Amino acid sequence: MATDVNPTSIAERVVEAILAQKLAPGERLGEQALAENFAVSRTMVREALMQLQARGFVEVQSRRGWYVVEPSAEEARDAFSARRIVEAGILAESEGRPLQKAIRRLRDHIADERRAIEGADAATRAFLLADFHVCLAEQMGHQLLVDVLRDLTARTTLAATLYQSRHEAGQSCAEHGAIVAALEAGDTARARQLMIEHIGNVERSLEVETTAGPDAPARLRATLAPVALPRARR
Ligand SMILES: [Zn+2]
């Protein structure tokens, strides 16, 4: 059993447990308990948790340990509003630059997103849809903003994983395509406008599901596959 366990497979099992609501937002993740659970070293558990931290599923609090993220509605709003400023700025700044290579790379990324929407789990598709924005900053040559966008998008990845339907994910992907098409046509102003609208659409789709949405729990139950990870003991 322990032979085919690695940090990535542990990370996947923890994500599955979060999605199946066996681990709740804000819940503490004990390194020792997870290590015993998977019969692996704490070092391997820590590596898995660091992968999950990079993907926005868990956070570490100094001296207190690891927790499943629990972003408040206010924090999410803040992250989306920061993204509107940063990403509109990136697109405005790209005006008049040669973008062929960036456009090719972004189109490849969108193809990956489409494949994930068709075949992969909710966590993978939420990650890839968020990563489009990181990729955009990278392709436009803003290395520092790559880290900023990774951080900002990670703050809402868990919410997107839990509440964004496959249909909404497909719409997001189509909006990415429209942004890239505007860039390709040299219409930076339109790309910028489409980006601002797109971020607003994503924000609204998550808000509806997290606040009201009487059918959200039912939809969650319907979309989540059962998983086998026993609840981590504290
Ligand atoms: Zn997007």
Per-residue pLDDT tens for 121-136? 888 888 899 999 999 9
Residue range(s) occupied by CATH 1.10.10.10 in the chain:
2-70
CA of 129 to the centre of ligand 1 (A): 5
Mean pLDDT of 54-62: 86
Residue 85 pLDDT class (50, 70, 90 cuts) = very high
Q: What is the 130 CA–ligand 1 centroid distance (Å)? A: 6
What does each C-alpha distance from 85 to 74, 126, 169, 188 come to in angstroms? 17, 22, 23, 15
Residue 202 CA to ligand 1 center (angstroms) comes to 7
pLDDT band at residue 222, thresholds of 50, 70 and 90? Answer: very low
Q: What is the mean pLDDT of residues 208-228?
A: 39
* Residue 187 alpha carbon to ligand 1 centre in Å: 19
Mean pLDDT computed over every residue of the chain: 84
156-190: pLDDT as tens digits: 888 888 888 899 999 999 999 999 999 999 999 99
Percent of the chain with pLDDT over 70: 87
Bigger pLDDT: 186 vs 2:
186
**Greatest extent of the chain over all pairs of C-alpha atoms, in Å:** 57
pLDDT at 62: 85
Structure confidence by residue, pLDDT tens digits, 5-52:
899 899 888 887 877 777 888 889 999 999 998 899 999 999 999 999
State the pLDDT at residue 168: 93
pLDDT value of residue 213? 43
208-226 as b/e: b if 16+ CB within 10 A: ebeeeeeebeeebeeeeee
Task: Report the DSSP pairing between strands 58-61 and 65-68.
Answer: antiparallel
Between CA 1 and CA 51 the distance in angstroms is: 22
Assign 203 a pLDDT band (cuts: 50, 70, 90): very high
Write the burial class of residue 160 (CB in 10 Å: 0-12 exposed, 13-18 middle, 19+ buried): buried
Calculate how far, in angstroms, residue 76's C-alpha sits from the geometric centre of ligand 1: 15
Q: Which residue ranges does the chain devote to CATH 1.20.120.530?
A: 73-217
Structural contact between residues 158 and 25, judged by C-beta atoms closer than 8 angstroms: yes
The CA 165 to ligand 1 mean position distance, Å, reads 14
Tell me which CATH code domain 73-217 carries. Answer: 1.20.120.530
Q: Residue 212: pLDDT above 50? A: no
Which residue, 39, 146, 141, 71, is CA-closest to 99?
141
Do the beta carbons of residue 62 and residue 19 sit within 8 Å?
Answer: no
DSSP string for residues in 115-134? HHHHHS-HHHHHHHHHHHHH
In this prediction, residue 67 carries a pLDDT of: 93
SS3 label, residue 58: strand
Q: What is the pLDDT of residue 112?
A: 95
CATH code of 2-70, in short, is: 1.10.10.10
Say yes or no to pLDDT of 216 above 70: no
Residues 58-64 have a mean pLDDT of 88
Q: What pLDDT does residue 223 have? A: 33
